[in-house]
Structures are given as C-alpha cells and as structure tokens.
Amino acid sequence: AITFKRLKITSPSASGGSNWAVGKSYDITWTRGTLTTGTIKIEYSSDGGGSWNEIGETAAGSVYSWDISSSLTRTTNGRIRIYEVGHANVADTGRLTISKIELTSPNGGEKLQVGRNWTITWTAENITGTIKIEYRKSPTDSWTQIASGLNASAGNYEWNNIPAGAVSNVMQVRVVDESDASGKRSDESDAEVVVKQLDVSAPTAGITIRAGGQYTIVWTKSANVARVNIMYSSNGGLTYGAAFAT
C-alpha cells in the first residue's frame, strides 16, 4: 500500500514576503495531514538552502516559536524548512527576509533639555520603507510620535525644540518600521534617558543692566532639576566665569 502524507508550511509562506527582525520572536506554523503524526524538525538557511542549521523540533501541534538571535546573519534569501523525522521527503520550505533596525541615540544615559535639539540616530538592514520615531515618558505611558515617513536608510533625524511634555527621568525613544503591522521591526532605548527643562526668563536679550545696581534673575525649571548655578559671560557666551550664585 502507498501512504500519502501531507505537510505544508504556512508561516513563513513558500511564496515569500515575510520580513522577520533579529532579537524578536516569531511563530513558524504549518498544517499536517492526519497521517503525518511524527516529530517535526525545523531548520534555517541564510543562503537560499545552500546550508542548514537546526532551530528545533516538536512532537505535537503545528506551531514552533522561534526566538531569533540578535546576532543572526541578516539576509534577503532566508529559508525555513520543516520535515517529519524519519520521512525527510515529507517536507516543505518557506522563504523570508531577516532584518534589523537598531536605535543608536539616545540609547540610555543621555541628558536632553527642553527647547534644545537632539540628533536621533539608527541603523537599518533589509528595511527599505519608511520609519516613524516615538517617545514615551515612562514604561507605562503610551508612545507619542516625534516624526513619521522617514526613509529607513537615512539613519538620523534632528529632533528640534524638544517639548516640555517629554520631561522625565525615565524617557525612552523608539524607531518603528511603518510597514510592519506587528510592530516587531522596531527598537527602543536600552536604558532611561533624562529630559530636563531650565529656561531663563529674565534678563532677556538686548536689555541693559547698570553696574552697581541690582537685578532679579528669573528662571523656570522642571521638578527633576534639583539645583542651578548662575554664571556670567562677558563675551557672548563663549566662556563663563565661576558661579556667583547657586
């Protein structure tokens, strides 16, 4: 008698189109016929099937969760192969791209100031569309958009006039591939970024202060600014003397 078995990979599909990011987890899925009851082995190739490396195996079900290593080679010619152990001809292969997007600044430990600018930088491999940039004040807050429609290959964006709404000791920034509905092709600051506000409202530019007189210096600050030093420059801010008040 001849036995016909069926095994078909559904994600990533045989026709391609999947783009999976390193450092994230994805489900490899398949369907199997009622006679395909053995253990399923899963393998990965970065060179179109020229060489294979085992990912894992499962004795039951039709799904395997793959935690993709951050160091996995990025490729547009990736393959996932599944087959029934003991019946190597009962097999199927899916096609995929392996990509990476990484935020490089601010990535944690930086100190930003409201009203100033900061260059946000990132790297992107095998991501050809547009990205958006967002920030959140804490891990429990929702994300607020900074910019969108940016070319992924640009690698930098000037965040001008940082808003007062970003003041935080635990702020994070992230970059997200706009074409990825799952949001997995993204990266955020590895650690907290500090954003503070400190604005001098008096004296204003262009006023004249009489020597020997008194003048009230006025400023506003965010709650995470504990202490300020007041210094004076006589050359337009090129150099400052020692603090005369703290």
pLDDT tens column, 112-155? 999 999 999 999 999 999 999 999 999 999 999 999 999 999 99
Q: Mean pLDDT across the stretch 181-205?
A: 93
Q: How confident is the model at residue 209 (pLDDT cuts 50, 70, 90)?
A: confident
Distance CA 69, CA 66 (A): 9
* Residue 164, phi then psi, degrees to nearest 5: -65, -25
Q: How confident is the model at residue 6 (pLDDT cuts 50, 70, 90)?
A: confident
Q: For strand 40-45 and strand 75-84, is the pairing parallel, antiparallel, or unpaired?
A: antiparallel
Enter the tokens of residue 243.
Answer: 């603090």
pLDDT at 35 over 80: no
pLDDT at 23 over 60: yes
Residue 171 contacts residue 193 (beta carbons within 8 Å):
yes
Residue 163 contacts residue 197 (beta carbons within 8 Å):
no
Mean pLDDT across the chain, nearest whole number?
93
pLDDT at 204 over 90: no
Per-residue confidence (pLDDT) for residue 175, from 0 to 100 = 98
In terms of pLDDT, which residue wins out, 98 or 219? 98
Per-residue confidence (pLDDT) for residue 3, from 0 to 100 = 59
**What is the pTM (predicted TM-score) of this model?**
0.85
Per-residue pLDDT reduced to its tens digit, 57-114:
999 889 999 999 999 999 999 999 999 999 888 999 999 999 999 999 999 999 999 9
What is the widest separation between alpha-carbon atoms in the chain?
110
